[in-house]
Amino acid sequence: MEKRVKILGAGLAGCEAALWLAQHGVQVDLYEQKPSKFSPAHKSEGFAELVCSNSLKAERLDSASGLLKAEMKLLGSNLLKAAETARVAAGGALAVDRDIFSAAVTQMVKEEPNITLHTGEVTTIDENTLTLVTTGPLTEGALAEEITRLTGGDKLSFYDAAAPIVTAESLNMEKVFAASRYDRGDADYLNCPFNKEEYEAFHAALVSAEKAPLHDFDGELTVYEGCMPIEVMAGRGADTMRFGPLRPVGLRDPRTGHRPWANVQLRRENAEGTLYNIVGFQTNLKFGEQKRVFSMIPGLEQAEFVRYGVMHRNTFINSPHLLNTTLNLKAYPQVYFAGQITGFEGYMESAACGLLAARSIFAVLQEKSLPELPNVTMLGQLVRYITSENKNFQPMGANMGILPPLETHIRDKRERYMAVAQRAVQAMELWAEQTK
């Protein structure tokens, strides 16, 4: 029987998946709407077009991005090879000439004999045909409606109103305390208590902080009461936040024995408790301003931000409810998703997700089952993040905070990250060999 798969979208995830499958003897029908139709963000006819930045982030192994790249190399990434041909000087980061990078990927795809290109807009998905959807964070129109049909009541999210996430180990626990309001529950939240003077200084800094410009493709940002940027709320008055997400009622600061003047709550972001979300702090501030202002929150003075808050146009599915760890729909196993539409945040993350989807599909074509990635790998933990129960699901990029801790703690952060990365590489080497 002929081994054939349909891939929708020639972005980073789609091209990575298409090239890997084609090189392993699979006939790939790759569908791309350009040049007959362009999204508001895309201008070039080339594939794997980089829109917001030409940086593919750090390369050193003891960084989250460097570790992810090391894992991708072990899995046979073609896009990393293209990036090398387009490299521009950027210190310790991998940055590329966007046009050269896109041209290199486009050439790879067009010269691959097992890939058949189809141009034009796709509006339907046959749930009985082996299909990989990699249409990216700006999926819209008839295809978005078709994806909504396949995902049932789980509507696509069209605005990514995400609060910042910090690592647990970077918190000052001498100031932060665990408690739920009125002692209800099991102290699921960490609390950062303000006194009056601290709060007033924080409010003044917040209302004067510099906002990030919106991209053309974001359009005019509509502020909804349920997901209002924290800086907009602060601008409505000095006490507005104190009666909203920073309300101190039902809490008692163990340092003073009294209720705080205001209180920021941190909610556990992953099952391991290594990451915490700053509740109610969706924001459109510039990243540097978020670091400066949010570090004024008691206990967050040295906070390590693994993701900053964003408010922009972003289409993604409710992956924890919809996807298996093999990246196919639970309701329609023939339909796979990969890339930023799944909640993988970032260029290399998107490509890595495409690689994993390709291997999952190939295993099905071989009538085999693909073992889960080791939980000590960056890609393995990213997949677990997007497929684990999460009532407040938001996209996530590579970060060291999602990896399980070492059995023996290493105090020096750089040494600890290197040990974590080496452990991940060894596990991925073994997994890649076992699944060859």
DSSP 96: E
For the chain, the domains span 4-156+317-434, 165-312
Q: What is the pLDDT of residues 286-319, one digit of tens each?
A: 999 999 999 999 999 999 999 888 776 678 899 9
Neighbours of 40 (CB within 10 A): 13
| Measured distance CA(277)–CA(283) in Å, rounded | 13
pLDDT over 70 for what percent of the chain? 90
pTM across the whole model: 0.77
**Could you tell me the sign of the dihedral formed by the alpha carbons of 202, 169, 385, 61, in that order?**
positive
Query: Class of the 165-312 domain?
Result: mainly beta
Q: What pLDDT is attached to residue 117? A: 97
DSSP 150: H
Q: What is the pLDDT of residues 66-91, one digit of tens each?
A: 999 999 999 999 999 999 999 887 66
Q: What is the pLDDT of residues 148-179, one digit of tens each?
A: 999 987 766 666 567 899 999 999 999 999 98
Q: Quick one: which of 286, 330, 327, 329 has its CA closest to 305? A: 286
Q: What is the CATH number of domain 4-156+317-434?
A: 3.50.50.60
Beta bridge partners of 190: 178, 266
* Residue with more model confidence, 93 or 278: 278
| Over residues 106-130, mean pLDDT | 96
- Highest mean pLDDT among 23-32, 185-194, 408-417 belongs to 23-32
Beta bridge partners of 329: 323
CA 42 to chain centre: 20
Helical spans, DSSP H, in 208-256: 230-234
CB-CB contact of 346 with 354 (8 Å) = no
Report in angstroms the alpha-carbon separations of 165 from 40, 96, 280.
Answer: 29, 28, 11
Element spanning 190, H or E: strand 189-194
Q: What pLDDT is attached to residue 23? A: 98
User: Tokens in use for 375?
Assistant: 């939980």
In degrees, rounded to 5, the angle at the alpha carbon of residue 159 between the alpha carbons of residues 30 and 99 is 45
